[in-house]
Amino acid sequence: MTRQVHDTIIVGGGAAGIGVAVALKDAGVDDILVLEGRRVGSSFSGWPGETRFLTPSFPTNSVGMLDLNSITIGTSPGFSLEVEHPTGRDYAFYLRQVARVFQVPVREQTIVLRITRIADEFVIDTEEDTLRAKHVVWAAGEFQYPRLKGFVGSKYCRHTSMVDRYENLEGDDFIVIGGFESGIDAAYHLSREGRNVRIFDRGCPWEESTSDPSIALSTYSIERMREECFTEHVRLHSETPIRSVARSDEGYEVLTMDDRRYVTPVQPILATGFVGSHGLVMDLFEQRDDGFPLLDDNDQSTRVPGVFLCGPAVRHGDHIFCFIFKFRMRFAVVAKAIATSLGLPAKRLEEYRHWGMYLDDLSCCGEECIC
Per domain, the residue ranges of the chain are 5-144+274-354, 154-270
Question: 154-270, which class in CATH?
Answer: alpha beta
- pLDDT value of residue 239: 96
- pLDDT value of residue 53: 96
- pLDDT value of residue 184: 98
Q: What is the CATH number of domain 5-144+274-354?
A: 3.50.50.60
pTM for the model stands at 0.92
- pLDDT value of residue 364: 35
What whole-number distance in Å separates Cα of residue 185 and Cα of residue 199? Answer: 11
- pLDDT value of residue 368: 32
Identical fold between 5-144+274-354 and 154-270: yes
Per-residue pLDDT tens digits of the chain, which is 371 residues long: 456 899 999 999 999 999 999 999 999 999 999 999 999 999 999 999 999 999 999 988 777 788 999 999 989 999 999 999 999 999 999 999 999 999 999 999 999 999 999 999 999 999 999 999 999 999 999 988 999 998 999 999 999 999 999 999 999 999 999 999 999 999 999 999 999 999 999 999 998 878 787 888 999 999 999 999 999 999 999 999 999 999 999 899 999 999 999 999 999 999 999 999 999 999 999 999 999 999 999 999 999 999 999 999 999 999 999 999 999 999 999 999 999 999 999 877 877 765 555 544 433 333 333 22
